[in-house]
Structure 1
Amino acid sequence: MDDQNKNLILAVVLSMLVIIGWAIMFPPPEPPQEQTTGETAIQGTDAPVAGAPTADAPAGDVANTTGATGTIGDLADAPRITIDTPNLQGSISLLGGRIDQLSLKGYRESLDEGADIVSLLSPFGSDNAFYALYGWAPGTGLGLDAVPGPTTLWTLESGQTLTPQSPIQLSWANDAGLTFHREIAIDEKFMFTVTQSVENTGGSTVALAPYGVLARHGEPEDMKNFFILHEGIVGFADGQLTETDYDDVTDYAFDPAEGARAEVTRVQESGWIGFTDHYWMATLIPDGGNAFKSVVKYDERRNIYQTETVQNTRQLAPGERVDVQSRLFAGAKEWATIRAYENEDGVVKFLDSIDWGWFFFLTKPIFALLHWLNGAIGNMGWAIIGLTLVIKLVLFPLAYKSYASMAKMRELQPQMEKLKEQCGDDRQKMQQEMMALYKREKVNPASGCLPILLQIPIFFSLYKVIFVTLELRHAPWIGWIRDLSAPDPSSLMNLFGLMPWGTPEPGSILALVFIGVMPIALGVSMWLQQKLNPAPTDATQKMIFAWMPWVFMFMLGSFASGLVLYWIANNTITFIQQYTIMRSHGYKPDLFGNIRSSFSRGAKSGDK
């Protein structure tokens, strides 16, 4: 291949890498949403209803007709109701009826023996407090003391432990004829159902609006802060998915109606809003078909991030009762579980709460296939190898033409070298002679680049899938590979476990230098695969390509083992395909770049 064509191909590949990398690291800004007020209008009147209160804002005692009072300081001593399901454990405080202690039974903080299970929600006063609150925003003629809020001390009516078979019932009554009930139910996985009810036994019509709040005190301590992963607020509103980083929320304009920096979205039909971490999520989900106000809020005085759903105001005449239902997802971002909530329980576009990225049209089907293969094989590592095989089979028709063309190009190398000697520095003549040679031999020099270009978005998509999805977390493969979402723990430093000393700290400089078994296997597989390709005629390009396998070996050494495994499998299958195709066309390559041909043309020009 002549220098100009080689430079062109190299430029195309590098340009694709730059464009894709730029799109991932610097996505275009989301279109600004229309700002609305933070008030909910009472149906049929011009009087406003205040939004949900800021979580745990200072307030005086809240009295009720039973004589019970509560303050935030009483939270540690307030009665609690145990949560016990196959997947969750925790408790609900009767002070505010808050869901504020929750851990995931099926997931541990690390692979170390005796590691703690993952904690998702924690109460006010603890480090990185994170909890859910429900209540009613008062309308005309009602004060804050007339409705249940964060400091209301509820009475347990029925149920001792919240399980999938036994919901709990809470109640509270004010001194103005309003009796409030709250039923909290939970399923086998991670979904709470909260039914809020109010009865008006007084003598006048009242107006009030039900709300749900998720409050997070400060940013999570274990944030990855990596450009490929979204951590922060995630929401869906009438067909529009939004992902907002924590630092973007702190830049919101101050909204007097909300009493904090806030952004308000009016949802007409369906939506949800909450906080997403790397692998865990908590989300407020009002019943579909009902309009509500979705709020993202930041109280900079107390460093509290808050998401809210405030449903439409209810007018309640004497003798009437109203029931409002909403859901709370609090758990692991398991693909199959979230998909079931979307497909079977009607949570619209809930699967988009997983960060599929800009290549969602690739990442979604890639993961769906990977999930199916894992279920069929029973091991995520072998599933990745199976996925690689499927991708290579899909691309095989294109690869066949490409490898056949590259085999011919490899055979033409001696003739290209002779033309270079004959033409000297006359690039125009060299170009003409090369094009004539390609035309005579029916070779397309660019055909070998197309599979490489197709591999680039696939590689990025698989990288996204392996890094983002929960299913690869702590997933073992073989032997020493116990976590496919983490780098290879073996190291050249201790001769891969033969020596008694330890290995470098993951992510350190030494870990990048003293790489493990899988990165070395990657470099070797890339070197073998490269040997079947025609070498560049330019000395500088030839040197660059010669060093590329070993550069990639160190570059990808700190990547997730699952991604390195895919790359090794891809290189190995590519080598087998290319070697087989070259043999079928009469070319006999060896591992040292030599090629022999059974054709008379190749016998003269290709043998060494």
Structure 2
Amino acid sequence: MDDQNKNLILATALSFLVILVWFVLFPPEDAAVDPNAPAIVATTTEAVSPPVVATANTEAAAAPELSKAPRLEIDTPRLKGTISLLGGRLDDLAMKAYTKTNDPKSGIVTLLSPVGEEHPYYALFGWTPGGALAFEDVPGANTLWSQVGSNGLSPEAPVTLQWDNGKGLVFNRIISVDDRYMFSIAQTVKNQSNAAVSLSPYGIVARHGTPPDLEGFYLSHEGIVSRADGTLEEVKYKDATKLPLVEREAALAEVTTATTDGWIGFTSKYWMTALIPEQGKPFTSVIKYVPSADIFQTETREPVISIAPGATASTTSRLFAGAKEWETLKAYEKDGGIGGFIDAIDWGWFFFFTKPIFAVLHWLHAMIGNMGLSIIALTFLLKALVFPLAYKSYVSMARMKELQPEMEELKARAGDDKQKLQKEMMTLYKEKKVNPAAGCLPILIQIPIFFSLYKVIFVTLELRHAPFFGWLTDLSAPDSSSLYNLFGALPWAAPTPGSMLALVFIGVLPILLGVSMWLQQKLNPTPTDATQAMIFAWMPWVFMFMLGSFASGLVVYWITNNIITFTQQFLIMRSHGHKPDIFGNIKASFGRKHAIKPAVVKKTGKK
């Protein structure tokens, strides 16, 4: 087997590993089973009053009260919903710009839901009593607030809530929102009593049961995400149920103290709800799971505030509730002073590749206006970046081709002495200044690039439902065309993506990928060794079916990469005096069995 073919086999094997490593070494985890049936919702214990779980009230009692409580409308360019005056809950929120599926009629994505619905998910703010104060002296989850002023929340009009405990403490809460996804909660306490009081503000995001739309896919984190003093932590739902028991919390919990910055909340692939206390000041973040109620909670607790008689104290925190748009998160990080907020997007192990790759892709999309064309343009840029290595590789392959006659002479002289052959080959490489391993360098560079682009296409919101042209209406999803209905020519629907039929009856893009890989092989003659020839013959078609279920954006990248590689290798080989006989190699591959017959006849002596 010549060294050029060895390099090609190695390249193919490494490419094969790119596809299989995630599925073999890191198989998908089973999606967590949602234990939150409606019957459980009706009997769960209210678990929203830090530092201990409150047991005086139940969600069963809160649900009907919540349905009767007055609500204030939320209407912004990107959000719609309501705020309940019971607890001042942010528990009804949907995103105007995003539909559940690629069908515009599928309805917009709902983020937060109130208690009483199937999967409650909401945010609460309040005060924990200190000193002589009791829980009934401070506003909590079931406090009925009074609305003051505006009847609706918009970027131009904040809302003010008020509650008087009847014992000299008057609480005010001003809720405002920007034109994206950030709420600001300014809370004040006026002490009109004759004694000093102590209390501390908190924020809670709670969700009942495991999310029903949990993908459970290893490539994207879903669960709790937090940052404290520059350290990012990700905890899956199933791992939150294994946290240590903290008796004073009366729940399973993890308590972290931050001194300078941080935030905490729940995240899915595309959406997030996060509590953001005032940055630059100490706070405590808590991850909590209440087994008896099947409630997951994230909390922020601020230091205790002492308020003298006649004095007023105030605190401000923020709540992010919306889509993980790259530009939006970046703006909140840069202009809003929220450190590491861009890392709410799960960039993965190769973050040093995925972050700049997506930044370039986003810039190209802003210039071009079509994400498919942007992926093609990105492929050209990446190929240009690694071209110096590719050039050396193709030159080395061309020079190895020139050494084939001398290599055959060495093999003839060495016979069965493999050690002698290896020594003389290394001497020949040294004399001719040829590096036989140079052909592997571009492949080694391509592996992290492939993984990074795969990650970018899978987890970034900007690729969700991003169209290319024609039938390719979602580059984050597999090619929707199919051999099953002759690409739409027959009057029945294509198989559902992910089904066994969809794995067999692939679309147009995977077929083009297989053809592009096959043509790339034909730059070199078909190997005479039968086993080697069979591997090369099957490899493009194996990859074609393997990648049939991958995101179409990734297949667009691979096809473009193959075409560029084919062109580069063809031109470089020609510049070194070797003219690839592509059509001859194609013809020889179909007639390979006949081509090796003469050798068999000569060896056996039969006529």
Aligned to 1:94: 85
CA pair 345-269 structure 1, distance change in 2 beyond 3 A: same
Aligned to 1:435: 426
Distance, in Å, in 2 between the alignment partners of 1:3 and 1:397 is: 21
Which range moves more in the overlay, 395-404 or 415-424?
Answer: 415-424
Quote how far apart the aligned CAs of 1:437 are.
Answer: 4.2
Quote how far apart the aligned CAs of 1:72 are.
Answer: 4.3
Asked whether the equivalents of residues 410 and 534 of structure 1 are also in contact (C-alpha less than 8 Å), the reply is no
Aligned to 1:132: 123
1:362 aligns with 2:363: no
Distance, in Å, in 1 between the alignment partners of 2:503 and 2:16 is: 27
Aligned to 2:164: 173
Quote how far apart the aligned CAs of 1:415 are.
Answer: 5.5
Q: Match of 1:467, as an amino acid? A: F
Aligned to 1:297: 288
1:447 aligns with 2:445: no
Aligned to 2:10: 10
Counterpart mapping for 1:449-598 below 5 A: 449-532=440-523, 539-592=530-583
Asked whether the equivalents of residues 24 and 228 of structure 1 are also in contact (C-alpha less than 8 Å), the reply is no
Counterpart mapping for 1:405-444 below 5 A: 405-413=396-404, 416=407, 420=411, 423-444=414-435
Aligned to 1:340: 331
CA deviations on 1:479-521 (whole Å, 9 max, x unpaired) are: 1100000000001111111111221111011111111000011
1:51 aligns with 2:50: yes
Asked whether the equivalents of residues 413 and 534 of structure 1 are also in contact (C-alpha less than 8 Å), the reply is no
Distance, in Å, in 1 between the alignment partners of 2:564 and 2:16 is: 26
CA deviations on 1:106-135 (whole Å, 9 max, x unpaired) are: 000012241110000000121121000000
Distance, in Å, in 2 between the alignment partners of 1:447 and 1:480 is: 41
Distance, in Å, in 2 between the alignment partners of 1:254 and 1:494 is: 56
Aligned to 1:76: 67
Partner SS for 2:248 = coil
Partner SS for 1:588 = coil
Counterpart mapping for 1:98-497 below 5 A: 98-413=89-404, 416=407, 420=411, 423-497=414-488
Asked whether the equivalents of residues 25 and 228 of structure 1 are also in contact (C-alpha less than 8 Å), the reply is no
Q: Match of 2:396, as an amino acid? A: S
Asked whether the equivalents of residues 51 and 248 of structure 2 are also in contact (C-alpha less than 8 Å), the reply is no
Partner SS for 2:105 = coil
Quote how far apart the aligned CAs of 1:347 are.
Answer: 0.6
Distance, in Å, in 1 between the alignment partners of 2:158 and 2:382 is: 47
CA pair 71-523 structure 1, distance change in 2 beyond 3 A: closer
Asked whether the equivalents of residues 7 and 439 of structure 2 are also in contact (C-alpha less than 8 Å), the reply is no
CA pair 240-9 structure 1, distance change in 2 beyond 3 A: farther
Give the number of the structure whose residues are more often helix, by fraction.
Answer: 2
Asked whether the equivalents of residues 271 and 324 of structure 2 are also in contact (C-alpha less than 8 Å), the reply is yes
Distance, in Å, in 2 between the alignment partners of 1:451 and 1:213 is: 49
Q: TM-score, normalised by structure 2?
A: 0.88
CA deviations on 1:243-276 (whole Å, 9 max, x unpaired) are: 1111110001111111110000001110000000
Asked whether the equivalents of residues 3 and 400 of structure 2 are also in contact (C-alpha less than 8 Å), the reply is no
CA pair 60-557 structure 1, distance change in 2 beyond 3 A: closer
Aligned to 1:25: 26
Distance, in Å, in 1 between the alignment partners of 2:567 and 2:212 is: 46
Asked whether the equivalents of residues 179 and 200 of structure 1 are also in contact (C-alpha less than 8 Å), the reply is yes
Asked whether the equivalents of residues 52 and 136 of structure 1 are also in contact (C-alpha less than 8 Å), the reply is no
Distance, in Å, in 1 between the alignment partners of 2:99 and 2:184 is: 26
Asked whether the equivalents of residues 91 and 114 of structure 2 are also in contact (C-alpha less than 8 Å), the reply is yes
Q: Match of 2:108, as an amino acid? A: I
Asked whether the equivalents of residues 4 and 401 of structure 2 are also in contact (C-alpha less than 8 Å), the reply is no
CA pair 165-24 structure 1, distance change in 2 beyond 3 A: farther
Distance, in Å, in 2 between the alignment partners of 1:374 and 1:4 is: 38
Unaligned regions of 5+ residues in structure 2, if any?
29-48, 587-607
Distance, in Å, in 1 between the alignment partners of 2:391 and 2:19 is: 28
Partner SS for 2:579 = strand
Asked whether the equivalents of residues 63 and 116 of structure 2 are also in contact (C-alpha less than 8 Å), the reply is no
Please give the root-mean-square deviation of Cα atoms over the aligned residues, in Å: 2.7
Aligned to 1:32: none
Q: Match of 2:505, as an amino acid? A: F
Distance, in Å, in 1 between the alignment partners of 2:276 and 2:217 is: 28
Partner SS for 2:470 = coil
Distance, in Å, in 2 between the alignment partners of 1:14 and 1:104 is: 40
Asked whether the equivalents of residues 223 and 278 of structure 1 are also in contact (C-alpha less than 8 Å), the reply is no
Unaligned regions of 5+ residues in structure 1, if any?
28-49, 62-69, 596-608
CA pair 489-127 structure 1, distance change in 2 beyond 3 A: same
Distance, in Å, in 1 between the alignment partners of 2:507 and 2:339 is: 44
CA pair 73-378 structure 1, distance change in 2 beyond 3 A: same
Asked whether the equivalents of residues 2 and 537 of structure 1 are also in contact (C-alpha less than 8 Å), the reply is no
CA deviations on 1:273-293 (whole Å, 9 max, x unpaired) are: 000011100000001011111
Quote how far apart the aligned CAs of 1:13 are.
Answer: 4.1
Name the % identity. 59
Quote how far apart the aligned CAs of 1:97 are.
Answer: 0.2
Q: Match of 1:25, as an amino acid? A: F
CA pair 417-577 structure 1, distance change in 2 beyond 3 A: same
Quote how far apart the aligned CAs of 1:425 are.
Answer: 3.8
Asked whether the equivalents of residues 407 and 533 of structure 1 are also in contact (C-alpha less than 8 Å), the reply is no
CA deviations on 1:182-224 (whole Å, 9 max, x unpaired) are: 0000000000000111000001111100000000111111111
CA pair 295-82 structure 1, distance change in 2 beyond 3 A: same
Which range moves more in the overlay, 571-580 or 527-536?
Answer: 527-536
Quote how far apart the aligned CAs of 1:367 are.
Answer: 0.3
Distance, in Å, in 2 between the alignment partners of 1:7 and 1:393 is: 22
Distance, in Å, in 2 between the alignment partners of 1:447 and 1:482 is: 40
Asked whether the equivalents of residues 524 and 585 of structure 2 are also in contact (C-alpha less than 8 Å), the reply is no
Partner SS for 2:249 = coil
Asked whether the equivalents of residues 525 and 585 of structure 2 are also in contact (C-alpha less than 8 Å), the reply is no
Asked whether the equivalents of residues 285 and 327 of structure 1 are also in contact (C-alpha less than 8 Å), the reply is yes
Q: Match of 2:50, as an amino acid? A: G
Asked whether the equivalents of residues 199 and 305 of structure 2 are also in contact (C-alpha less than 8 Å), the reply is yes
Distance, in Å, in 1 between the alignment partners of 2:427 and 2:8 is: 18
CA deviations on 1:550-605 (whole Å, 9 max, x unpaired) are: 1111111100001111101111111111111112222211324759xxxxxxxxxx
